[in-house]
Structure 1
Amino acid sequence: MLSNIDHKSVKWARSDVYFLLLAVACFLYAAFIALRYADQLPLDLYSFRQTQTAITTYWLGINGFSLNYETPVVGPPWSIPFEFPLYQYIVVLLSQGLNMDLNAAGRIVSFVFLALCVIPASKIAKQLDVSRASLFIFLALLFSSPLYMYWGRTFMIETAALFFTLMAISYFLDILAGRNTTRSGVLFLIFIVLALVQKATTPLPVLAVLACVYLFQTLKDTGSVKAVLSSRFIKQSLLYFVLPLLVGTIWTLYTDQVKSANSFGMQLTSGALSEWNWGTWAHRLAGNLYSDVIWRRMLGQNLAGFLGLALLVAGLFLKVRPAIKAAIWICLVLGMVPVFIFPNLHIVHEYYQTANVVFLLFAAALVIGESFGNRRRGISTAVIVASLMVASNQYVFARDFLKTVETVYTPANSRDLAIAETLRANLAEDAVFVTFGDMWSSSLSYFSGHKSFTVPDIYDQYDQAIAAPEKYAGAYPLGAVVVCRDNKGFLLPEVTQWARGKKDWKVSEVHGCYIALPEQGPGVSLHAAPAQCQGSIDVAGPVDSRMPGVIAVKGWTTVDGEKGIVPELSYVSLTDLRNKETHYFEATSTYRPDVNAHFGQPDMKHTGFSRLITLPSPSGQYVVGLARLTGGKVETCQFAKDVSAGK
């Protein structure tokens, strides 16, 4: 792709070849990272946003294309649309058309959009009549930038919005130059509208700056204020700048209407999130906006810190052609203005800078290529400076991001995968679940393949939901209630009390969270046959000091671990030593990767068991044992643990 760029017919210099090779090398390494780790589950940085995009894509693939597409983590009705689902549906088509893993398809499409940014970049460079060196330096900086190397291969819409925005800019420059005005105008409108409905925060600052440029250029060309008051100028301004905003507003109003049908969706409308999206003056004056967002993330990680800062400052005073000088100034504005328009979003989200750092990279490339690169003595300086910046970018990527990219997520190291595996194993196909303590993350729903209401602590009806979660499943059968710790505190007592009020529900601990599930199997006969079992009871003791009389029991058992045979169900037995009465409690099957590794059976599931038990009396001596259902028969295992309560 990069080697085919040829926007000027002048003879190639050796430095041009060097910069081209540098750009190609950076692109190939970025492509290697994107493709080599394309199958990584979207549990890396900002998994909240990645899995939200992934789950909307997953259900688009099941339900077909729809404007009110489902994001089934907020209860029924399931639709809370934000962006127009263009990126998601492209991922669906790629995944289904090539029978490709959805996660890999999502990451690859994201990187393809980043790679496609070469097209508008090359077009803009040709329009500005900049040197080959400047273009190749920019591409080297773009594809070596840690920001774009990392976020350009995530399951997110960022690069799609960026590509559409850059394409719109390229056609806007045609409009300014009076080239193919009708065609350029139509294409500008198409791409700026696509950018706005894909992710409004990316093109909105750009559209505002372009409107100012259009006004300034008109005044400069005509030398008269009357020109901007003419009907022609007003009509063109309405067409190019107001019409796209109108389309974006219509889309926002539509999504607000759909969200309002959902009890939590009403808290996600544009009006409800106005302060979150636009920020406050406190955000604009916050120290971390300058020290973290602007200095560390933008300049430090992607422009070699003080070296990049020096280049950008120097660009303000360079003696270069007016068009280049204007381009540098405008790029600096485009690079900085979004941070102050959406300060809170930039503070909270590290990926938001993908919308604006690209312009700072282009400004730096222009300074290097058009200042140093156009003077015989400066060529060596340009080579050194560009190489240092690329080297800095690669160092930062290796230091701050590569380990995360290389991480393989499994139920052994991921709480969400461990819980999702338990949900997948225990829920009926049409069952939904309710989760507390996970904000409104899509992770558990996405990886379990089940719809949910993941109740955030900011939900207006939070207390009602914890008291009666079944009311928030709608017409769907409630298959589970998941509780993790959140800002509302320790919720296990409430869920345990709720489950106790339901017939045949059990509560178990999985990876630090607690899951309430309906019991599935038959009761255990008192005449169950004894057996020598593989396994152990690893834990048998109090859950928490705030829950006296409740114990947690965890362990594992296999019928034949070497052959990968596991029991159908496990039961925890509880014997009261005072009256010798024994009661059996169905346990929840859990995934134990350590057991799988021990037996060399990586695909073996349900080897673990877990159960919370309320003791008959908060004080006394008990013996905990294990029984299991295998081959349709119940057998009792040989291992046991003593439990003392009330001491």
Structure 2
Amino acid sequence: LLALLNLWLFVRWLLRPGLVLLLATITLGCAAALTKVTTWAVFAAAVLAIGAWSIISARRHGRSTADALIGLVLILGIPLACGVWWASWSDGIKAAGDLTSELTSGSLAQWNFGTLEQRLSPAQWGRYALRSGLLILGPLGLISVGPAVFSFFRGRRRRPPLPVLAASLTALAAGPLVFTNLHFVHDYYALAIGIFIIVLLASTLFAQKTRPWLLAAIVISSLATTGFYIAAKQANYTDPLSDGLARTVAGLPDDRTIVVIGSYLDARIPYKAQKKALQTRIIDPSDPMFRDAITSMKGSKVGAILTRSAADFPAARMAAARLGLPSRFDLSPGVSVWTTTALGASLELEPLDLVGEVDRRMIGFSSDEQAGQFGLLMPSGPGAAPGIGLIRGGNLYLFDLKRGFRVVHRRWSPEGRGE
């Protein structure tokens, strides 16, 4: 919103230059750059395109361009300087922390900007274009691309204004070309350029003055399908392991922080558990910086340590031992939660008569010391309960996507039903 207002004020300043509008445009640009520089950069590209067109047009008509050129430099340069200063200041804070020293801008340069191979990969660009189009326009909204392209090449008289084309195309290209990896990995970065896709398509389509009913149908269907598509996608997206971890720690006191160790950084876990969280990458437990960082957390209100991968298990186990979290609950191999007290009692609900009513397929495994024997029960067939059963410590748990884990049968074994 800040970047959009910055662009709007810039256009108004071009039409009616004035000191107040200039200062307001610069202020909003600084606020946008400090809030999220990757979004500001996309809108800054549009500002540059419109400003360049305005200066070139003024020169063609013999008008002075000095004021416009100075204003453009200030409107782009000052927010850019603010963004660089902010990144440098935050890098200093990150560099001072043991767990954040590798998260500075320099260390993440390739992650942020990507590689030449990514920029030259037709397959990656194809996936990015399809994913972004579905996210912004919706499945049915993609049909507007064909008529827009046809309308654009139909004739110059029916094309949208050149500044609109220049700003939209420049902004659309700037985001993924500069921050290539961020746009390819995270779908939400496309939302920053979404408004330019909509403006480009709308201005091209509405330049055709014929068949207004067809244009209205495209717009209405696009709006409807986009909303339904995104809502359905979010409603149906589940991750059993993340949901199970969140359910497991949701009952901890509100003032407790959870620590998630491993490369699988998932914001859904703290969000669904309603807990503050520290998430860190795969760590070598012998790393002295990691050991010192964990030791420095003693006495803090760490309620649980979570891990989602067997590769992260040694580091999580060491951290749990140092922070005094002796009780471990295993959801599946390598997916574990350490807390101060056993979690079994807090997971009990009324029993379900599951065993004996559904077909069974046992998958047995055993982990390291203290873990004991595990097994997974996967219900199938008519009448099967939804979810995955987990045999842990002689108890059978049922994982339900809506309710999390709950005790089904105590002292259960494959040979008998248990209680």
Which TM-score applies when normalising by structure 2?
0.72
Provide, for residues 523-578 of structure 1, a one-character-per-residue CA deviation record: whole Å limited to 9, x for no partner.
Answer: xxxxxxxxxx9789989x996356489524699xxxxxxxxxxxxxxx969xxxxx
SS in 2 for 1:507: strand
SS at match of 2:336: strand
Does 2:30 correspond to 1:193? yes
Cα distance in 2, alignment partners of residues 475 and 504 from structure 1: 12
Structure 2 letter corresponding to 1:181: G
Alignment partner of 1:435 is 2:232: no
Which runs of no fewer than 5 residues in structure 1 stay unpaired?
1-162, 373-377, 522-532, 556-570, 574-586, 611-625, 627-638
Report the Cα offset of residue 452 of structure 1.
Answer: 4.2
Name the CA shift for 1:216/1:466 in 2 (closer, same or farther; >3 Å). Answer: closer
Residues 105-164 of structure 1: CA distance to partner in whole angstroms, max 9, x if unpaired?
xxxxxxxxxxxxxxxxxxxxxxxxxxxxxxxxxxxxxxxxxxxxxxxxxxxxxxxxxx22
Query: Is the 1:542–1:548 Cα contact (8 Å) retained in structure 2?
Result: no
Answer yes or no: is 1:167 the counterpart of 2:5.
Answer: yes
- Equivalent residue for 1:508? 329
- Determine the C-alpha separation between the residues in 2 that align with 1:181 and 1:493: 63
* Change over 3 Å in CA distance of 1:169–1:370 after alignment to 2: same
- Change in Cα spacing, 1:290 to 1:465, as seen in structure 2 (3 Å) is same
- Where relative contact order (Cα < 8 A, 6+ residues apart) is larger, the structure is 1
- Residue among 212, 220, 232 paired with 1:403: 232
1:210-252 Cα offsets, whole Å, 9 max, x none, are 2343244234324499956x5x556424422211111222222
Q: Distance in 2 between matches of 1:391 and 1:537?
A: 45
Establish whether residue 454 from structure 1 lines up as the match of residue 279 from structure 2: yes
Query: Which residue type is aligned with residue 308 of structure 1?
Result: V
Shift of 1:470: 4.4
8 Å CA contact 2:135–2:230 kept in 1: the answer is: no
| Residue 503 (structure 1) shift | 8.4
**Change over 3 Å in CA distance of 1:244–1:300 after alignment to 2:** closer
Shift, 1:200, TM fit? 1.3
Decide whether the 8 Å contact of 1:368 with 1:386 is kept in 2.
Answer: no
Q: Residue 79 of structure 2 is aligned with which of 241, 244, 249?
A: 244
Aligned residue for 1:274? 109
1:298 has 2:133 as partner: yes
The question of whether the paired residues in 2 share the 8 Å contact of 1:185 and 1:240 is answered with: yes
Change (3 A) 1:542 1:326: closer
Select which of 14, 30, 36 maps to 1:176: 14
RMSD between superposed Cα atoms in Å: 4.6
Displacement after TM superposition at 1:292 (Å): 1.6
The alpha carbon displacement at 1:416 in A equals 3.1
Distance 1:546 1:340, change over 3 A: same
2:87 aligned with 1:263: no
Q: Secondary structure at the match of 1:388?
A: helix
User: Cα distance, 1:347 vs. partner?
Assistant: 1.0
**Given residue 117 of structure 2, which amino acid in structure 1 is its aligned partner?**
A
Offset at residue 195 of structure 1 (A): 1.9
Tell me, yes or no, if the aligned pair for 1:288 and 1:347 is still in contact at 8 Å: no
The yes-or-no answer on 1:344 pairing with 2:181 is: yes
Cα displacement (A) at 1:340 = 1.5
1:483 corresponds to which residue?
Answer: 307
Task: Give the whole-Å Cα distance in 2 for the aligned partners of 1:197 and 1:491.
Answer: 35
User: Measured at CA, do residues 551 and 609 of structure 1 come closer, stay the same or move farther in structure 2, by a change above 3 Å?
Assistant: farther
Specify the alignment match of 1:608 in structure 2.
407
Q: How far 1:348 moved relative to its partner?
A: 0.9
Q: Does 1:367 align with 2:204?
A: yes
Map 1:109-148; keep pairs closer than 5 Å. Answer: none
Distance 1:183 1:323 in 2: 30
1:208 Cα deviation (Å)? 3.3
Q: What corresponds to 2:249 in structure 1?
A: 423
- Is the 1:496–1:507 Cα contact (8 Å) retained in structure 2? no
> How do residues 536-615 of structure 1 correspond to structure 2 at under 5 angstroms?
544=365, 547=368, 551-552=372-373, 608=407
Please state whether the residue corresponding to 1:191 is helix, strand or coil: helix
Letter of the structure 1 residue corresponding to residue 212 of structure 2 = A
Cα shift readout 1:326-385 (whole Å, capped 9, x = no counterpart): 32343233233322222211111112111113112212222222332xxxxx1xx23213
**Alpha-carbon distance in 2 for matches of 1:371, 1:642:** 71
Task: Identify if the C-alpha distance between structure 1 residues 494 and 370 changes in structure 2 by more than 3 Å, giving closer, same or farther.
Answer: closer
1:445 counterpart = 2:270: yes
Specify whether residues 371 and 421 from structure 1 end up closer, same or farther in structure 2 by C-alpha distance, changes over 3 A only.
closer
| AA in 2 matched with 1:218 | I
Give the conservation status (yes or no) of the 8 Å contact 1:430–1:476.
no
C-alpha distance in structure 1 between counterparts of 2:311 and 2:323, whole Å? 21
Partner of 1:3: none
Cα distance in 2, alignment partners of residues 496 and 218 from structure 1:
63
Query: What do the CA deviations read for 1:387-406 (whole angstroms, capped 9, x no partner)?
Result: 135425644654x4342344
Distance 2:2 2:325 in 1: 54
Structure possessing the higher radius of gyration over alpha carbons: 1
Change (3 A) 1:172 1:593: same
| CA separation of 1:226 and 1:270: change in aligned 2, threshold 3 A | farther
CA distance in 2, matches of 1:641, 1:321: 75
Once the two structures are superposed, residues 38-77 of structure 1 have per-residue CA deviations (whole angstroms, 9 ceiling, x without a partner) of xxxxxxxxxxxxxxxxxxxxxxxxxxxxxxxxxxxxxxxx
Bigger mean CA offset, 318-327 vs 233-242 = 318-327
Q: How many angstroms apart in 2 are the aligned matches of 1:499 and 1:299?
A: 43
Within the candidate set 42, 54, 69, 1:205 is matched to: 42
How does 1:28-43 map onto structure 2 within 5 Å? none
Do 2:304 and 2:325's aligned partners in 1 also have CA atoms closer than 8 Å? no
**2:88 corresponds to:** 253
Task: Please give the alpha-carbon distance, in whole angstroms, between the structure 1 residues aligned to 2:352 and 2:249.
Answer: 23
Residues matched between the structures, number = 385
Unaligned ranges ≥5, structure 2: 344-349, 377-391
The letter of the residue matching 2:179 is F
**Map of 1:471 onto structure 2:** 295
Q: State the Cα distance separating 1:443 from its structure 2 match.
A: 3.5
Give the aligned partner of residue 382 of structure 2.
none
